[in-house]
């Protein structure tokens, strides 16, 4: 794959991952081949592509170490065969007594270009009674990652990371011109915040946002929002899915990054901030 012209076709593969790794591999492969047939040279899958499983015991029983993971192996084989780049939004990977929520960037030769473990874990209590404690099962990542993608630099994020703008600014300041937040966003929070957060991260940094998502009601009972999305550096939505499995595509024109950052150079205007906290007792007496 070559991006010598500064343009390429990107695809988000929207999935509804099941409790079967084998079925999810088949669904991913089908969507990937559809995207490739439509001209995509960069493909991204959602968070937890290999398994969506609420039961902690069943999750551990079904997943593998990175070296033995069949989903990763299938994606590497497909990337090499089709000569495309594949960004697995994340896989559940066994790491001792916990699980890594790990993204993989696979080059067009099938080699591993980069790995990224989700930094921010989703420990929340939602108004509808939903409770999530990712820290009980998953181990958080240690650092942010920027990786080369044939003429571009890709900043890696996963799902809940989207709510932490300092991460995406740091990625952009480190050279990323494409940012990502593939997700398994809940329906409740997605309806309220997904699109506006995607557009905000793009606008704040003058970057493309490419975020594939899980969508619909899953076998384990959870509901995810879907709406995989590709946003340009000016905040325009180039493509957006509904909540059904499928493929969306958009042209990534890297010249738009320079254009947006040239118009509003916020990355150049960053200042160190000192916060003064003023209490009631600090009020000056009136003369």
Annotated catalytic residues are: 47, 118, 159
35, 67, 155 from 182: Cα distances, Å:
17, 23, 12
Contact present, 116 and 156 (Cβ < 8 Å) = yes
Q: What is the DSSP string of 166-208?
A: HHHHHHHHTT-SEEE--B--BHHHIIIIIHHHHHHHHHHHT-E
* Strand partners of residue 85: 42
Backbone φ, ψ for residue 14 (5° rounding): -85, 125
What's the first-to-final CA gap in the chain, in angstroms? 72
Token pair for 59:
């999750």
Q: What is the DSSP letter of 96?
A: T
Rounded to 5, what percent of the chain is helix, strand, coil? 30, 30, 40
User: How far is 75 from 81, CA to CA, in rounded Å?
Assistant: 10
Contact present, 207 and 199 (Cβ < 8 Å) = no
Among the residues of the chain, which ranges form H helices?
Answer: 21-37, 56-62, 70-82, 165-173, 187-189, 195-205, 255-263
Token pair for 65:
């170490």
**Residue showing tokens 């557009």:** 199
Q: What is the DSSP letter of 52?
A: -
């Amino acid at each position: 794959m070559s991006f010598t012209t500064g343009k390429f076709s990107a695809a988000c593969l929207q999935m509804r991952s099941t409790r079967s790794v084998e079925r999810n591999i088949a669904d991913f492969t089908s969507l990937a081949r559809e995207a490739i047939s439509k001209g995509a040279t960069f493909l991204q899958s959602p968070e937890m592509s290999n398994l969506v499983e609420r039961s902690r015991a069943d999750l551990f029983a079904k997943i593998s170490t990175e070296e033995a993971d069949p989903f990763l192996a299938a994606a590497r084989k497909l990337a090499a065969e089709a000569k495309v780049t594949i960004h697995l939004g994340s896989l559940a990977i066994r790491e001792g007594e916990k699980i890594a929520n790990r993204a993989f960037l696979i080059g067009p030769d099938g080699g591993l270009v980069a790995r990224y473990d989700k930094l921010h874990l989703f420990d929340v209590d939602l108004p509808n009674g939903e409770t999530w404690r990712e820290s009980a099962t998953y181990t958080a990542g240690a650092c942010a990652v920027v990786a080369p993608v044939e003429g571009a630099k890709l900043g890696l994020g996963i799902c809940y990371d989207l709510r932490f703008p300092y991460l995406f600014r740091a990625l952009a300041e480190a050279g990323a011109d494409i940012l990502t937040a593939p997700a398994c966003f809940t329906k409740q929070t997605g309806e309220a915040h997904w699109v506006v957060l995607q557009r905000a991260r793009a606008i704040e940094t003058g970057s493309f946002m490419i975020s594939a998502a899980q969508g619909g009601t899953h076998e384990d009972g959870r509901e995810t929002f879907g709406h995989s999305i590709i946003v340009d550096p000016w905040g325009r939505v180039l493509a957006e899915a509904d909540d059904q499995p499928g493929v969306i595509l958009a042209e990534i024109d890297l010249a738009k990054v320079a254009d947006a950052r040239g118009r509003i150079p916020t990355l150049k205007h960053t200042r160190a901030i000192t916060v003064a906290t003023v209490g009631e007792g600090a009020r000056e007496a009136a003369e």
